[in-house]
Amino acid sequence: MLKTIIIAVVVLVACAAAFLFLQTPKNVGDPSKFNRAFSTSEQETLRTTQITPQELSDANGENGHLAWIAINGVVYDVTGAKDWQAPKWHHGVTPGGDVTEAFLTSGHGVEHIAGLTVIGSYAP
């Protein structure tokens, strides 16, 4: 009897854990996560600094290069961000490119980009 109760409790805990950890985050695919407020100086940077595809590609974080990502037309510096260190890039997403789709389909929200340094605007 005790063995049956223990097994039932373990199964219930496992099911609850699976339910909690396997849910799709609520903001996956929600474009409102791009609605980041920019300071006056960031707005000026976006207005005056256009990053080319080659410049973004060169900022791939390898061999001492800076690490930049583009999200929704904005280039951010992730050089010092702990989750963006080689060789284990952030969830397999590498710097040096436009990661808009990866960000949109992730569970990350605007708070994940709000603290990053704005480098300039990006329009491939």
pLDDT tens for each residue of 1-34: 766 666 655 655 554 444 444 444 566 777 777 7
pLDDT tens for each residue of 58-96: 999 988 899 999 999 999 999 988 877 777 677 778 899
Q: What is the pTM of this model?
A: 0.77
What residues have CB less than 8 Å from 98, skipping those under 6 apart?
Answer: 56, 69, 70, 71, 122, 124
Name the DSSP class of 32.
Answer: G
| Structural domains of the chain, ranges and CATH numbers in brackets | 29-122 (3.10.120.10)
First to last CA, the chain: 66
Nearest to 124 by CA among 66, 78, 73: 73
